[in-house]
Homo-oligomer: A and B are copies of this chain.
């Protein structure tokens, strides 16, 4: 059972926000779905969008400017939260922005106390797809995935691990090698423990080194004025890993763009067209 929080007509389709009791994260989870205008009985491909640190479903829903193009191309667009939240869910004791609430890193935590709720990997790849299939006119045989920053990390690692599920994958300014950067090392150690071997399943560069491949080409946009590029995102490491593995990566360094939704919204239509071509 899902509860409708809000529902707006937009660009001829319906933008909704929904809530449900998630058994995976043992918490109530909120997500948004845009359904484009469809003929009665028709179904549409599903584009998954994973957000970055500090975000809820609301950031991309309000600011990513995907509805016009999704309506035009006939794409369902799903935005989930970035962590469990709410009563009984532990957050970072110091209220950090890069751990706990808003910082689930799209993995299943194995360390207490996080392991009871911080199971975003299983939520995003298992429970939520079932919810979407059951409640929306979704063609689950045609899915693709994209994300921003921490969500770019999520989109890449999920697509590398489930290459047959996704017809397209792209990212905006992804955390490409979390094992090697401050944001990632803190989160991976906290959620998965000190054994760095366990981190490799949640690091795109490590996954590629370990033989994983996408089922398709990859598109990444990265602003060259992004304040997180050098220390935490490290697009060059992804480019090197893809080159060494023979993966067809289109990495576009975008001059003057930063890490914000003003960057994402600029290139969203490009990404959606890239996805739509591969979802046909």
Contact of A10 among B15, B67, B68, B263 (CB under 8 A): B263
User: Considering the chains assembled together, what is the distance between the CA atoms of A265 and B67 in angstroms?
Assistant: 9
Tally of this chain's copies: 2
Closest B residue by C-beta to A259: B8
**Residue A28 interfacial (CB < 8 Å):** no
Give chain B residues whose Cβ lies under 8 Å from the Cβ of A223.
9
Interface size classification for chain A: 20 to 34
A interface majority secondary structure: mixed
User: Considering the chains assembled together, what is the distance between the CA atoms of A64 and B266 in angstroms?
Assistant: 14
**Residue A262 interfacial (CB < 8 Å):** yes
Q: Which residues of chain A (1-44) have a CB below 8 Å from chain B?
A: 8-12, 15
A268 to chain B, nearest CB (A): 9
**Residue A86 interfacial (CB < 8 Å):** no
Closest B residue by C-beta to A267: B11
**Residue A127 interfacial (CB < 8 Å):** no
Known: A63-B62, A68-B269. A262 touches B225 (CB 8 A): no
**Residue A256 interfacial (CB < 8 Å):** yes
User: Considering the chains assembled together, what is the distance between the CA atoms of A238 and B147 in angstroms?
Assistant: 45
**Residue A139 interfacial (CB < 8 Å):** no
Residues 129-163 of chain A, each 1 if its beta carbon lies under 8 Å from chain B, else 0: 00000000000000000000000000000000000
**Residue A228 interfacial (CB < 8 Å):** no
Closest B residue by C-beta to A256: B9
Contact of A263 among B9, B63, B265, B266 (CB under 8 A): B9
Contact A262 B9 (CB under 8 A): yes
Most buried by B among A11, A63, A225: A11
Give chain B residues whose Cβ lies under 8 Å from the Cβ of A10.
257, 262-263, 265-266
Question: Could you list 19 A-B pairs, sorted by A, with CB under 8 Å?
Answer: A8-B258, A8-B260, A8-B262, A9-B225, A9-B257, A9-B258, A9-B262, A10-B262, A10-B263, A10-B266, A11-B265, A12-B266, A15-B262, A62-B63, A65-B68, A65-B265, A67-B265, A67-B266, A68-B269
